[in-house]
Amino acid sequence: MQNLPEQFIDRMKKRLGEGFPAFLRAYENPPYKGLRVNTQKISKEEFWAISPIMLEQVPWAENGFYITAEKAGAHPYHFAGLYYLQEPSAMCAAPMLEISAAKHVLDLCAAPGGKTTQIAARMDRGAILVANEIDGSRAKILSQNIERLGIANCAVTNATPKQLVENFPEYFDAILVDAPCSGEGMFKKEPNALTHWSPQNVALCAARQKEILDDAASMLTSGGEIVYSTCTFAEEEDEWQIADFLKRHPEFALLEIKKILPHEERGEGHFAARLKKISHSSLQREAPKIRAYPLRVNAQAEKAYRAFAEDFFVSAPQGAITTLSDGRMYLVPTGMPAFDVRVMRLGVELGEWDGKLIRPAHALAMAFGTHARRKVKLSLEEVKKYLRGETVEAEVENGWCVVFVEEFPLGLGKAVNGTVKNHLPKGLRLVRA
Ligand code: SAM
C-alpha cells in the first residue's frame, strides 16, 4: 500500500465514515486497467473476435473493457489505432455528453486524448470537434493519438481557455471540461500525484477549475451541455464546485452526477457532472458570426497533391486543403470555423510539398489507408519488423503504399522492386518487440 498523506486520510475518514476501511483496503489492489475499442476502425464485436487480450466489459462505457494484460500498448493493433488504453473509471464522463445533434463540440482540457477519442467515435462525422490542450508538449501527444485513431473531423489547438473564449463566444453545442485536478484517483497509477497532493493544492485546483468552467459556460450555445469531470474525490473540486457554479450561473441546470469511488465500483475513481444551459443570461451579448476557416495553399502544391492522390488512392478523399504554419497541407473538415489560436492539427495532415514532389503524411495512411491503391498486408512477424522501422519484402507495384496488419493500416511505405522502404515516423516506432 502507498504512503497516503495523513491529511488526505483524515479528510476521507471524515467523508466516508463507515465506508473508510473499505476505501483504504482498495489501495492494496493493483490499479485497474482498461482499453476502449475505437469504433471508427472496428466494431466492438469484431474486436472481441480478434482480441489478443482478455476483455471484460466496463459497465458504464459501451466500448470499454477491463484488461489485465501487460504491454497492450506494444501490440500492432494498438499501432493501428484499434483501441485506446484508458483507466476504466475515466471512461464514464464522455458518454454523459449529449452530442447526438451537436454540430460543434469542444474538449477543453484534452491531452492525452482519452476522452477526445471517445467523443469522436460517437460524433456525427460531419460535425466539428475542437480538442484543446494548454500545455504544448501534451498537445503534441494529443495530436498523435488523434492521428493514430484516424480521426478526420478534429482541430487540435494549444490555447488557454481565455484565448478560446475570444474566438468562440457561444459557439459550441457540447463541451467537455475534464479539468486539471488534485488527482486523488491517480495515486496508484501515478505516484507523482501523491507527492503533489496537499489541501493547499486542492484549493488551488478548485480556483483554477472555477475559472475554466466559467470560460466553458461562455462558449456554450443556449440549450447546449457541459460535462465537467475530475479524477479526484475532493468535494471542493467535485460536488461543491458544481454547486458554486450553479449559484453563479442560474441559466444552467444540473442533469446528472456520477461519482466512482474505488471501494464501491471497479475503477480508480472519477467524478462527472452533466450541466445544461437552459436560457441566455440577460447580460450576454449577441454571438458574433464566425467565418469559415481561411484556406491558404500554394496553387502548385495543391495541384501536386491532387495528382499524387489520384495515383495513391482508388477514390481520393475530397475536401478543401490548407497549409498551416508548419508548412504541411491539411484536409480541412467541412464547416471548420476561422480561429486565431495556435493550431497543431486541422483535420487530416496530407503531406508536404518540396517544390517538386509530395511527401505524404503518416496521418493519410491512418485516416484513409483503406482506400489506398497499393496495399501491403504483412504477417505478424513482418509487421513487427515494419514497426521497428525495418524494410520489408512484398509483391507490390512500385510507388507509395500503405502497410497493413490484417485489414488495418499501420503506416506508409515506398515500394521499389519488391522492397518496401519504411516510412513509419521515427518517433512512432517500436523500440523492442
Ligand atoms: N481529458 C484528458 C484525457 O481524457 O485524456 C485528460 C485531461 S487532464 C485531467 C487535464 C488537462 O488540463 C491536462 O492536460 C492539463 O495540461 C490541462 N490544464 C492544466 N491547466 C489548465 C488550465 N488552466 N486550463 C485548461 N487546461 C489546463
- Whose alpha carbon is nearest atom 8 of ligand 1? 180
In angstroms, what is the span from residue 206 Cα to ligand 1's centroid? 13
Q: Which atom of ligand 1 is nearest to the CA of 178?
A: 1
Q: What's residue 148's pLDDT? A: 98
Q: What's residue 300's pLDDT? A: 95
Whether the per-residue pLDDT at 285 is higher than 70: the answer is no
pLDDT tens-digit series, residues 381-400? 999 999 999 999 999 999 99
Q: What's residue 255's pLDDT? A: 98
pLDDT tens-digit series, residues 334-365? 999 999 999 999 999 999 999 999 999 999 99
Residues 6+ apart with CB under 8 A from 202: 182, 232, 234, 236, 237
Whether the per-residue pLDDT at 47 is higher than 80: the answer is yes
Q: Which atom of ligand 1 is nearest to the CA of 180?
A: 10
Q: Which of 119, 134, 151 to mutate to test the pocket of ligand 1 (most atoms within 8 A of CB)?
A: 134
Confidence label for 193 from pLDDT (cuts 50, 70 and 90): confident
Q: Is 114 in the pocket of ligand 1 (CB under 6 A)?
A: yes
In angstroms, what is the span from residue 341 Cα to ligand 1's centroid? 17
Peptide bond into 112 cis (omega under 30): yes
Whether the per-residue pLDDT at 318 is higher than 80: the answer is yes
For the chain, which domains are there?
Answer: 6-277 (3.40.50.150), 291-336+348-369 (no CATH), 374-433 (2.30.130.60)
Q: Which three cell numbers stand for residue 239?
A: 460536488
Short-list 418, 419, 424, CA closest to 404: 424
For residues 359 and 58, give the distance between their C-alpha atoms in angstroms, rounded to a whole number: 42
In angstroms, what is the span from residue 109 Cα to ligand 1's centroid? 4
Confidence label for 432 from pLDDT (cuts 50, 70 and 90): low
Q: Which three cell numbers stand for residue 370?
A: 483503406
Q: Is 411 in the pocket of ligand 1 (CB under 6 A)?
A: no
Q: What's residue 70's pLDDT? A: 87
Q: What's residue 125's pLDDT? A: 85
Which residues carry out catalysis? Answer: 231
Mean of pLDDT values over 163-184: 97
Confidence label for 200 from pLDDT (cuts 50, 70 and 90): very high
Mean of pLDDT values over 34-61: 97
Q: What's residue 142's pLDDT? A: 98
pLDDT tens-digit series, residues 202-250? 999 999 999 999 999 999 999 999 999 999 999 999 999 999 999 999 9
Q: Is 354 in the pocket of ligand 1 (CB under 6 A)?
A: no
Whether the per-residue pLDDT at 192 is higher than 90: the answer is no
Whether the per-residue pLDDT at 421 is higher than 90: the answer is yes
Confidence label for 189 from pLDDT (cuts 50, 70 and 90): confident
Q: Which of 108, 109, 137, 176 to mutate to test the pocket of ligand 1 (most atoms within 8 A of CB)?
A: 109
pTM reported for the whole predicted model: 0.96
- Whose alpha carbon is nearest atom 16 of ligand 1? 135
What proportion of the chain, given as a percentage, has pLDDT over 70?
Answer: 97
In angstroms, what is the span from residue 134 Cα to ligand 1's centroid? 7
In angstroms, what is the span from residue 108 Cα to ligand 1's centroid? 8
For 212-228, the DSSP string reads HHHHHHHHEEEEEEEEE
Mean of pLDDT values over 294-321: 96
Residue that is written with C-alpha cell 445544461 in the block: 276
pLDDT tens-digit series, residues 246-265? 999 999 999 999 999 999 99
pLDDT tens-digit series, residues 111-128? 999 999 999 999 988 999
Q: Is 178 in the pocket of ligand 1 (CB under 6 A)?
A: yes
Whether the per-residue pLDDT at 1 is higher than 70: the answer is no
Q: Is 164 in the pocket of ligand 1 (CB under 6 A)?
A: no
Among 151-155, 285-289, 349-353, the minimum mean pLDDT is found in: 285-289
Is 319 strand, coil or helix? Answer: coil
For residues 217 and 275, give the distance between their C-alpha atoms in angstroms, rounded to a whole number: 10
Q: Is 180 in the pocket of ligand 1 (CB under 6 A)?
A: yes
Q: What's residue 191's pLDDT? A: 79
For residues 323 and 308, give the distance between their C-alpha atoms in angstroms, rounded to a whole number: 16
More confidently predicted of 126 and 280? 126
Confidence label for 433 from pLDDT (cuts 50, 70 and 90): very low
Q: Is 110 in the pocket of ligand 1 (CB under 6 A)?
A: yes
Q: Is 216 in the pocket of ligand 1 (CB under 6 A)?
A: no
Q: Which atom of ligand 1 is nearest to the CA of 142?
A: 5
In angstroms, what is the span from residue 135 Cα to ligand 1's centroid? 8
Q: Is 402 in the pocket of ligand 1 (CB under 6 A)?
A: no
Element (H, E) at 377: strand 375-378
Burial 337-351, CB ≥16 within 10 A → b, else e: bebebebbbbbbbbb
Confidence label for 283 from pLDDT (cuts 50, 70 and 90): low
Whether the per-residue pLDDT at 286 is higher than 70: the answer is no
The torsion angles phi and psi of 195, rounded to 5 degrees, stand at: -70, -25
